[in-house]
Structures are given as structure tokens and as C-alpha cells.
Amino acid sequence: MKPVAITLNSLQGESSVHMGFLLPTLHQLQTKMKKVASSSKVCVPLIKDLQDGIQKRFQNMIKDPELKTGID
């Protein structure tokens, strides 16, 4: 949960979050969660649900080619 907590703290600390900050932050979180999932045995269902929730909530923004520039 540490990567999620750090990401939430950084996003909550901002008074206004723009796509240029939000999407790269979410991308980094997804990358970190993939690494944790590959080395974890117990928390895989939790990590999978978190990844699915982020994908479901932000899928339109993540797939938008105009917003996606520079994060892949």
C-alpha cells in the first residue's frame, strides 16, 4: 500500500491537479504496482483490484491520445 499512499498524499497536497501531473503520476503508480504484484504472493488480489479501479475510473483520460502524450 506504500506506493498508493505516497501517490495519494502527493495528489491531495496539490490545490489544483492538471493532466500533466495526474496522468504521469497514475502511470508511475501502475508501474510500481506491477512490480509489487510480481514479487508478492499474499496481496495480489488487492493490487489487482486497485489496478482495475484506477483503470475503470481514469480509462477515458488514460486512453485519450491528446492527454497521453509523453507518458509511454
If pLDDT is split at 50, 70 and 90, which confidence band does 71 have? low
If pLDDT is split at 50, 70 and 90, which confidence band does 70 have? low
- Tens of pLDDT, residue by residue over 10-56, are 888 777 777 778 888 888 999 999 999 898 888 899 999 999 999 99
Q: How far is Cα 2 from Cα 60, in angstroms, rounded to an integer?
A: 26
pLDDT recorded at residue 65: 78
Q: How far is Cα 15 from Cα 7, in angstroms, rounded to an integer?
A: 15
The domain tally of the chain equals 1
* Contact criterion met (CB below 8 Å) for 68 and 23: yes
* Contact criterion met (CB below 8 Å) for 5 and 11: no
For residue 58, the enclosing domain spans 2-68
Q: Give this prediction's pTM.
A: 0.73
